[in-house]
Structure 1
Amino acid sequence: MKILIWQTAYLGDVILTTPIIRTLKNNFPDAELGFVGRSFVGELLKGYPIRFIPFNKGFFESFSIIDKIKDHHMVLSPHISARSALLLFLSGIPVRIGFDRSELSWLYTHTVAHTWGKHEVERNLDLLRPLGIRQDSMIKETKLFVDEEETKIVREKFRLPEEYVVLAPFSNFPLKEWYAEGWIELAQALDLPKVLVGTEKDLRKAMHIEKKAKLINLTGKTSLRELLAVVSGAKLVISSDSSPVHIANALGIPAICVYTSTSPSYGFYPTIGSYLTPQIPCSPCSPNPKKCKTGSYECLKAVSPEDVIKKANFFL
């Protein structure tokens, strides 16, 4: 039997599907598992017994992917886009399971209820119910694999201290980012060395933080595997509502999430660690907000640095 998982969203979304991989492997040990995701996913899921199929959403690639996946017997799709539903329908895979909230959900052979108020891991695992998998045989912990050699190489390459805290202020959605001065005050207050992480597009903002706080700035300097290794050696990760929260937890590292426009009620909160939320009338906004509904951007500064520092010191 060949089972496919389709998740072409962001880094964190993919990490939150790892319990599906683990549960399927436990319940169908002889099944061949495939995973369709963006090109970086192959590096992210290193160590999993899956066949990775990269998909970058180009027009021609959208149709060429059909030939690559049509030999599967069933597919589970946490991704809710119309493109996902249509391509999986055109693939002719006999059993196609998706959420009832998906666009073009009627193209799936089975749908399950998508509800807020539960963790995304539990929501994703609901997709296994049509396969008859019981709740008590589902694995709810996310997991990524980083070996000791990777961690050792990264420590030497970036001259990392024995103990440190990872700060991850940035997001693909600017309205998910706590304000820079808050990160600066936090970095100045923590006794342990701080390591700042992000991508190349975050360099300007990272340099602003680096100028005012003593830290090791690795923004734009790490590959994905190196980022995993950096996080795996941390005592604590403090992050915006973004993938470093889920990377940390999948490596057994506690994470503190500082929420702005989003909310733990959407289900993307740390399972190891804690979080802080803004206490304002318009909160929360939406899972992936692109524009402030009130124009005030109040949520970006609604969580105080003092509260984040107190929470961090509790874990440290």
Structure 2
Amino acid sequence: MLVWGPRKKTEVVNQTSVTEFIIMGFPSLERLYSLFFFVFLFIYLFTVSGNTLIFLTVRANHHLHTPMFYFLIHLSLMEIWYTSVIIPKMLANFVTKTGHISFLNCMMQLYLFSSLSASECYLLTLMGYDRYLAICKPLHYNRLMMPGNCLQLAATSWVCGFLSPILPVSLISQLSFCGPNMVNYFYCDAQPLLKLSCTNTHITAAAISLLASTLILSSFLLTMVSYAFIISTILRIPSGLGRQKAFSTCSSHLVVVMIYYGTIVCLYIQPTASVSMDLNKVFSLLYTVVTPMLNPIIYSLRNREMKESLKKLLRRKLTF
């Protein structure tokens, strides 16, 4: 995500333009890189296999061919690409301990990561709207969530997500980098890159911060508004069993939303300049590495239909 404050720059003369960056990663923990390699390799393989399994499970069971699980497929695909943008390069850096990345590849990583982050914000908001219609407007649900409409909504989340970072990444790529090239992060994120620029970044930082804040806050607030109506409707259900059944259909999504936005909020509450980057790395790990790993677990354990379909799929695969 792209939220930070401006940084003053001084004029730099007769300096060579930077053609590559060095991802510093976790320099104070370099002695643990061998352990980190296996830990993050396991997390990456678990994330990819878990989200792939969700994709295959939904596709294989026609009872799961509903809007909720259709959007879940797109969320799983986003999580796979999301982690694949960051973790493989991080694993390579753990082995080589060099962290070299070209300027072009750095900008590409920044763009892809930001695009997938934005797409996930849009999709989580869309999934909240889906649950709102299912619980609060059940008579209109089938008409509003026809397969064609679901396809258009999902495509919109992808397209808007990949359009959102074009301006921020363009602004960063046009900055002058003519001094230090050590990126104090474990991937090419905008905040540490702005700190390396030798030109004034006030306007760039302000524009990017405004765009990112608008996206994060609007998607989060829209999701919370959906759940405010959902909870209000559930509380009016006279039967306790009915309330439990209604809430179970959206509990997994609500847990994912709270974890995802919770880590983002913590990430951008920066206490002091001396420790903020270290805290940023911790919270970035939570929403770029840990959260995508938790999503398959959350949806598998908290959804009865998913658990039953997953068991059937595994039994079918193991018999061959």
TM over 0.5: no
- Flag the structure with more relative contact order, 1 or 2, with Cα contacts below 8 A and sequence separation at least 6: 2
**What is the TM-score with the length of structure 1 in the denominator?**
0.23
**What is the TM-score with the length of structure 2 in the denominator?**
0.23
Larger strand proportion of the pair: 1
- For the pair shown, the structure with the greater C-alpha radius of gyration is 2
Larger helix proportion of the pair: 2
